[in-house]
Amino acid sequence: MSIPDYQSLMRPFQPEYVGKMQFYLAVLDDLAREEGENPSIGMILCKTKKRTIVEYALRESNKPIGVSQYRMVSTLPADLKGQLPDPEQIAKLLEHL
């Protein structure tokens, strides 16, 4: 299994992501949520976002969805070193799925 090229997945926020997330949350809550569990929460991570567009896209949503901007770094912050597996370890774990 090869590690995906995450650069190709990094995109700015698009309003249609909210509709997709609402669909995924509805399916997850219908098929996987157990009695007594709270509704699922969606998080959309994007390369960039414009606050106004996000606010309009989420205005009519009745699902708990958050939108966050992220950035890729070439080195792991010092306080996280040793706490996360390296990409090769993750790929090896995913081989068995």
Q: pTM of the prediction?
A: 0.65
Burial class (CB in 10 A: 0-12, 13-18, 19+), 41: exposed
Has residue 78 been placed in a domain?
A: no
| Residue 84 domain-assigned (yes or no) | no
85 domain residue, yes or no: no
The answer to whether residue 87 sits within a structural domain is: no
pLDDT of residue 89: 86
Within 8 A by CB and 6+ apart from 10, the residues are 46, 47, 72
The pLDDT tens digits for 57-75 are: 999 998 999 999 887 777 8
Domain count, the chain: 1
Domain, as residue range, for 37: 6-72
Residue numbers in the chain where pLDDT is lower than 50: 1
The pLDDT of residue 3 is: 56
Radius of gyration in angstroms for the set of CA atoms belonging to the chain, rounded to a whole number: 17
Q: Does residue 93 sit within a domain?
A: no
| 96's tokens | 């068995």
